[in-house]
Structure 1
Amino acid sequence: MSSLTSAVSWGRRHIPDVAVPAITRTRLARARKDDARAAKAHREMDFLLGGVSTPAEVDRAAERYLERDILRSELRWHPKLITFQEVEGVANLVAARKRGRGVVISFLHHGHYEGAVASVCRADQPMLVVVSPEMLAPDAPEFLKQHVRTGTVSGGRPLDATVGAKGMLAALAEGEVLAIASDVPGRTPIRFLGVDRLGSFGAARLATGAGAPVVSMTAHPDADGRPYLRLSEPLDPRDFASPDDLLLEMVRLQEAPVLAWPEAYHQPTLRWGAVQPAGSAAAS
């Protein structure tokens, strides 16, 4: 990392928390004059909402997305502002842990997820969160390193996804709570918000293989716009005919919270794959 990048990163970490709103407003005023930024925001919201919302609703969501995206890029440098999110349903996680088969926490990159696991760790106890290997690489971009710092500030531990299913099943067998995102690039067809997409089958497959209950973590804004989290009642894989049915329910539980707060979904085009038409070159 260059000395300039290092200095900028150090500076962002040491800006007072109270200055974040003013910095966000200044950056937002500039972004609104940038046609490329506005177009990107619209693409993100159209990709997410195009199957269930009107063009006018997509336009309004895109305006809000631009502000939320800028706020997010500031908040990752201020862990105290996003790692003390209120957590509803902690008793559901405690009950799931008591079953002794480990627990899978299923989540999407929605809300201020960067501080979500840390918030749940504060409310209950430390857990593992599966991360892509580039986030842990020595030469990772500084914003990714900061993402890891924020997510582990309250004792959570990153688990490199390259340990594979065997390593993750071993962790569950030891009674660990394992947080896994289902909206990562994959080959599993998933119907989400009225559109066929491609996501990851990993969380449902692991839960089924380990017999581990699944707790869905969803993100919500309170009346003042502050993010909070909700943990669902445990889903027992044995109650579903197949891992596919379990995955459908995991994703279904996320739809209403995302639709209620779409601008808080971080770069949905990066998270979900698009199903290619039959016979296309990409599908061959």
Structure 2
Amino acid sequence: VNALAFSRDGLYLAAGGYGRVRVYDAHGAATPAVVVSEFTKNVNTLGFNDTGSWMFAGSEDRVAKIIDWREGGNLWITRVYQTSSSINSMLLHRNQHEIIMSTSNGEIIFWDLRNNAANSIFPDPEGGPIHSLSIDPDVTSLASVNSSGQLIVWSLNGNSVWKPLERHRCRVHPTYALKVQFSPDSTLLATCGADGKFKILKTADFSVVTCQKVSPSGLHWVWDCAFSADSRFLLTATSDGTARLWNLETGEVPVEYKGHQRAITCMAFRDQSLS
């Protein structure tokens, strides 16, 4: 499993794997309600629109697709966009008609679903693959992280993401930065990486307020992270097979989630108070 995402109402959970997307009833059986077998390689990223009536997904086969689906019914691929390299991350703008995606050749693509047109930028030509993107809840900032550990943040203007204005750039990890995530209150930005650490930055001035080694050895990659609804806790997923809930005020771990025998490379966290 390479990617997980809940629908906005929490009724469905989508999982991206090799060549397909499986959609499960989040409160039902382990058998998927819908299987989308429309890809030829790993599906790296996916998500739902606000109403849950369609999905977006991107794959190593360099194709992004919009999938209109109904439980137990037919599937329609309503939009397709071909990129020049593997798609690593996709986001849906709050306006519900613009997709932002990042690729392994360091490109960020802005895809307008209304006319199937796209624009793109190469923010760090020497930085390698862009692994993760995040838009803050206020829809005023876009952030990316890449294989060189570089964090770039842009300001967004109006009801569109095209023509972002670069606001900040810094190296947050010495090697691969794997995930970037804004907090629900838009005041914090979390990054995690192959150096076994996560960092918390203030969005006001991008000062680092937390730099935390996640596993006892510090040798395990931190693949994914997510904030709680009140922005006081951070959940991390690590290659030691453990997910940890961090109290950001104290640095303590009140809960560890164990049981996986291998690396946890992705997760979906839906805080009920966010619904």
Normalised-by-shorter TM-score class: under 0.3
Give 1 or 2 for the bigger CA radius of gyration.
1
Q: Which has the higher contact order (CA 8 A, sep 6+)?
A: 1
TM-score between both structures, scaled by the size of structure 1: 0.26
